[in-house]
Amino acid sequence: MTWLQLRLYTQRDSVATLEDQLLACGAVAVTLEDNADQPLLEPGVGETPLWNQTRLTGLYPADSDMHAVLAQLPAQVLENHRVEILEDKDWAREWMQHFQPMRFGEQLWVCPSWLEPPHAGAVNLLLDPGLAFGTGTHPTTAMCLRQLDGMPLRGQTVVDYGCGSGILAVAALKLGAARALGVDNDPQALTASAENSRRNGVQQAQFKVALPQRVAMADWGQQADLVVANILSGPLVDLSDTLISFLKPGGDLLIAGLLSSQSETLRAHYTPVVQLSVVDQQDDWVCLRGKRPSAD
Ligand SMILES: C[S@@+](CC[C@H](N)C(=O)[O-])C[C@H]1O[C@@H](n2cnc3c(N)ncnc32)[C@H](O)[C@@H]1O
């Protein structure tokens, strides 16, 4: 079966109305995309912000009368419209092809569950893309995974603050850490993290997840040998006291989610307690690492 797709371009305020109009005149799906390279980084929980300039694509069955569809839409949105034929494919397979096993450092691999890990003897983390952030494809996650791979984690305790899919906490556990705590302000992320830890054979007692307001030091029971946080620069500044309070004297702090232009400000913010250095850079993103002194 082939499909017809109608592409339209509009401003943020008109998106909801136009989306309803496309569905009302027979679209089986409407896709919204950025039309002006305006990244929307990490929306708050429950927020679905839109781009100022948005491209809408309405998907119609091949036998749709597109002249009749266009006649029902306001003339001003049809200025640059395009109608294209979209050949049908095995879309699930197309999507799955994007996710191949990825290697991080010496021994760590992240593999989708539908493929055999390429090296049975490696540390293989099984993880499928889902609703929570963290598959290993983003530079910030990749840099943290490479750092984890090179750390002596055996027997260590780890806090993964902003755990998303749980990829960093579960990687640390698979690399030998004894216990981990995953914290996220998105309940969906906690569900995903717990599910991913089970899929990777992590014992329930080894991995706890919690919303930030439920995280009392008493629940977790101890300060961690390693605190890792891959969040954006703003939250990393706001959360500095919290992150440091989780970190044992002598423990490591690993931070990502900031651009290289933001690293000096962030380093200055943490310097009174932890001296952070840039340990990796991928594209414009940097990864910082430092040790809390043994006695503050
Ligand atoms: C960039 S993702 C990182 C996910 C995963 N750790 C990784 O490295 O791929 C950041 C995560 O932090 C969470 N987050 C953002 N602000 C937060 C906050 N103030 N407290 C706790 N979690 C937060 C988001 O919900 C998201 O799951």
pLDDT (0 to 100) of residue 216: 67
Q: Is 184 annotated as a binding residue?
A: yes
Q: Is 141 annotated as a binding residue?
A: yes
pLDDT (0 to 100) of residue 99: 86
Token match 């840039």: residue? 278
Is 109 inside a domain boundary? no
Is 114 inside a domain boundary? no
Which residues sit with their C-beta closer than 6 Å to ligand 1? 42, 132-134, 141, 144, 160, 162-164, 167-168, 183-186, 189, 212, 230-231, 235, 239, 257
Residue whose CA is closest, atom 4 of ligand 1? 164
Q: Which domain holds residue 206?
A: 139-291
Q: How many CB atoms lie within 10 A of CB 79?
A: 9
Q: Measured from the CA of 160, which atom of ligand 1 is nearest? A: 6
Question: Is residue 168 within 8 Å of 140, Cβ to Cβ?
Answer: no
- The CATH number assigned to the domain holding 78 equals 3.30.70.120
How far apart are the CA of 231 and the centre of ligand 1, in A? Answer: 5
- Rounded to an integer, what is the distance from CA 251 to the centroid of its chain? 25
**Element containing residue 159 per DSSP (H, E):** strand 157-161
Residues 80 and 12 in one domain: yes
Q: Measured from the CA of 136, which atom of ligand 1 is nearest? A: 9
Q: How many CB atoms lie within 10 A of CB 183?
A: 27
- Ligand 1: residue of 48, 125, 133, 238 to mutate (most ligand atoms within 8 A of CB) is 133
pLDDT (0 to 100) of residue 92: 75
Residues 226 and 285 in one domain: yes
Q: pLDDT tens digits, the chain, 296 residues: what are they?
A: 799 999 999 999 999 999 999 999 999 999 999 998 888 777 777 788 899 999 999 999 999 999 999 999 999 889 889 999 999 888 777 777 888 999 999 999 999 988 999 999 999 999 998 878 999 999 999 999 999 999 999 999 999 999 999 999 999 999 999 999 999 999 999 999 999 999 999 999 999 999 998 776 667 888 999 999 999 999 999 999 999 999 999 999 999 999 999 999 999 999 989 999 999 999 999 999 999 999 75
How far apart are the CA of 78 and the centre of ligand 1, in A? Answer: 39
Residues 143 and 272 in one domain: yes
- Which residue, of 88, 109, 126, is where some domain finishes? 88
pLDDT (0 to 100) of residue 46: 77
User: Domain count of the chain?
Assistant: 2
Is 40 inside a domain boundary? yes
